[in-house]
Amino acid sequence: MRTIKRSLIIIMLFSLLAACGPTATTVPTQEQAAPTQEQATPTVEVVPTAEPTMAPVTIQVFYPVAVDAPIAAILNGYIEDFQAEFPYITVEPVYSGGYADVQTAITTTIEGGGTPPALAVLLATGLYDLINADYIAPMDEYVANMEGGQAYLDDFLPAFMANSYYDGKLWSIPFQRSAVVLYYNADKFEAAGLQPPSSWQSWAEAAQALTVKEGNNTNWGLHFSSDWPYWLFQPLAIGNGQNIFIDDCTVAFNDPKVVEAVQYYIDLSKVYGAMPEGVQASWATDAADFSSGATAMIAHTTGSLTSILAQSNFTVGVMAYPGKEEGTYASVPGGGNFYILQGAPQEQKDAAWKFIEFLTSPDLAADYSIQTGYIASRMSAYDTEAMTAYVAKVPQALQARDAMQYAEGELAIQNLGQVRTIFHNYIQKAFNGEMTALEAMDAAQTEAAAALVPFCQ
């Protein structure tokens, strides 16, 4: 594992904007259980054995709330059920805003000499930064001690486990995981005689056809947020045959296929007039605009599915992004994993693992998906009675999951905060017309490569 100076890690982290068994009884011996005729059946006094007394332990769990769903209420309900099963464990949830807020709160606590929470939900892509800073503890021993531990890991969707391993160790468990998808108003498509897009060209033409201007108001064919651009942009690059990074020390920002994807985004507004020009700081409002009918399509997260379906009075379509070539598609996973914090006392770490096991059970993975729109992280969740009944009524839940078959890895790299910021700065310059797509991506490549040097020598 590469080592770096702790002070550099701290600066980088601040740059991120994220059973007790049943009661035993005394049992008769074999001889006592089968008395002879001459021997009277003995009276055996059954004395209950006291349940082992577990020392009370309290753990804090830091959560982000990153989608339009009642996350706190849902998790509070799970915590009540968990504490009923494990009464010696008290769980104190701390809802700290978005992923960056959670990471900042943890960093501030640790660097201030305090004890971190035992458990946190942080971005899956934060793995390298968290390991380099020695903030998180590996989980291999807990899995090894589970009955069927490997089967437990194998049940998670493979794309979600991709960010859980490093240096031969398991560092996190998938929890609230999502994917980038394209939501489309199927009723508007049908009324316009359009099919769901199946290439860049048909996507642009559909968005153009569904853009309606009435006086000073425009109902756009597409809203494609770019205020946090790397994640929503990645499937465009993947759909052209090249992700924006190669490994944890190598970016591909100026690969010709990535540059072409940047230009396609620009052309959606400049050439086709299908969405507003420039950087679109619309992530927070796009789902509501789509549900109200103000736009025909949005690039967004599967984590907003439940809210979108509840607020829309039309048929909602969900699909992976169309790729450049006809019949190709692309997506990228996202969301957060469970991490156990290294600086927590051992008894808190042990309790945190029990809570992870509880929340990632197939039934709760299914329930969390149903209530939020996040993709259920375990394959067996789709075999549960609740999920079977749900997808029969809400086929979009399977459409969201199926987008994962076209997914490649989310940007996960050393010095993630700085590298990601470099990419954001330059791609937004391209979107705003301050630089050409090639100029911007060349500059981003050069600066990102320099930012990786201290971490990748």
Q: Enumerate the domain spans of the chain.
A: 55-177+334-399, 179-333+409-456
Q: Look at 29-33, 45-49, 451-455 and tell me which has the smallest mean pLDDT.
A: 29-33
Give the pLDDT band (50/70/90) at residue 68: low
Q: How far apart are CA 368 and CA 363, in angstroms?
A: 9
pLDDT confidence tier of residue 2, bands split at 50, 70 and 90: very low
DSSP 8-state symbol, 25: -
- pLDDT, mean of residues 148-170: 93
Going by C-alpha positions, the residue among 58, 130, 69 that lies closest to residue 94 is: 58
Amino acid at 266: I
φ, ψ at 418 (rounded to 5°): -70, -45
pLDDT value at position 421? 96
Task: Please state which of the four CATH numbers 3.30.70.330, 3.60.15.10, 3.40.190.10, 3.40.50.720 is assigned to the domain occupying 179-333+409-456.
Answer: 3.40.190.10
Residue 232, CA distances (Å) to 216, 226, 299, 357, 364 in order: 28, 7, 7, 31, 28
Which CATH architecture fits 55-177+334-399?
3-Layer(aba) Sandwich (3.40)
pLDDT for residue 306: 85
- Alpha-carbon distance of 212 to 219, in angstroms, equals 5
Determine the pLDDT at residue 25: 34
pTM: 0.81
Q: Residue 246 in contact with residue 252, Cβ under 8 Å? A: yes
C-alpha to C-alpha distance for 125 and 127, rounded to whole angstroms = 5
pLDDT at 65: 81
| One-letter amino acid of 70 | P
Q: Is 439 exposed, middle or buried (0-12, 13-18, 19+ CB in 10 A)?
A: middle
Task: For the chain, give the percent of residues with pLDDT over 70.
Answer: 88
